[in-house]
């Protein structure tokens, strides 16, 4: 099963991201239900491994914290809004990575660049220069009170993400 661990996006922030998507003018907007901040992409995993991860994530302890999403960027085909540097977010991501490893999941070693993907560029499509009024876009602070394990199902029109389990902080 293709899966990932992420922070769900609050309704208030999702509303702001949808306003930004409408103003963007390029790319294929991500559906509201697919908006999230990925902590660890797990790729395809057997159910038994995801069950082990479920128990590890259930034991994860951290305090709620606030995330601020601001600005606009593009890497690869993803148009995204980055998260402002945040030690609490990085600490939770480290705990998620540890939980994954304890469950037998090998994750690629990558620098954590927290963001929410809001649109995808088509094959061979290059983004236009980012307008100044979009690059300094600021959303309301988002209170993070939990994380979730998601299933990602690929379809011809894009991926569909479904929450398998929630983990309160």
- pLDDT tens digits, residue range 1-19? 999 999 999 999 999 999 9
Q: What is the mean pLDDT of residues 33-42?
A: 97
159-164 own/partner pairs: CB under 8 Å, 24+ apart: 159/34, 160/31, 160/33, 160/34, 161/33, 161/34, 161/36, 163/8, 164/3, 164/50, 164/54
pLDDT, tens digit (0-9, with 9 covering 90-100), for 52-98? 999 999 999 999 999 999 988 888 889 999 999 999 999 999 999 99
**In angstroms, rounded to a whole number, what is the distance separating the alpha carbons of residues 69 and 165?**
24
Tell me the C-alpha to C-alpha distance, in Å, between residue 134 and each of 3, 53, 114, 130, 139: 31, 38, 18, 7, 11
Q: 168: which 2 tokens?
A: 């309160």
Residue whose token pair is 């959303």: 139
How many other CB atoms sit within 10 Å of the CB of residue 159? 15
Domains (range + CATH), the chain:
2-168 (3.90.1140.10)
pTM: 0.92
Q: What is the mean pLDDT of residues 119-139?
A: 76
Q: 75: which 2 tokens?
A: 């890497």
Residue 97's SS3 state is: helix
Residue 137: its pLDDT value, please?
Answer: 67
**In angstroms, rounded to a whole number, what is the distance separating the alpha carbons of residues 147 and 96?**
10
The yes-or-no verdict on residue 23 having pLDDT over 90 is no
Tell me the C-alpha to C-alpha distance, in Å, between residue 90 and each of 51, 113, 148: 24, 10, 16
Residue whose token pair is 């294929």: 28
């Amino acid at each position: 099963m293709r899966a990932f661990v992420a922070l769900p996006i609050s309704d208030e922030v999702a509303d702001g991201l949808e306003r930004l998507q409408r103003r963007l003018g390029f790319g294929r907007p991500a559906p509201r239900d697919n908006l999230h901040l990925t902590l660890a992409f797990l790729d395809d995993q057997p159910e038994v491994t995801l069950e082990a991860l479920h128990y590890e994530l259930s034991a994860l302890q951290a305090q709620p914290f606030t995330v601020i999403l601001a600005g606009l960027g593009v890497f690869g085909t993803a148009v995204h809004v980055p998260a402002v540097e945040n030690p609490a977010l990085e600490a939770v991501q480290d705990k998620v990575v540890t939980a994954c490893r304890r469950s037998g999941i090998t994750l690629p070693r990558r620098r954590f660049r927290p963001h929410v993907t809001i649109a995808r560029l088509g094959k061979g499509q290059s983004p236009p220069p980012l307008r100044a009024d979009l690059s300094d876009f600021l959303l309301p602070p988002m209170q993070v009170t939990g994380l979730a394990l998601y299933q990602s199902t690929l379809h011809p029109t894009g991926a569909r993400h479904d929450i398998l389990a929630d983990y309160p902080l």
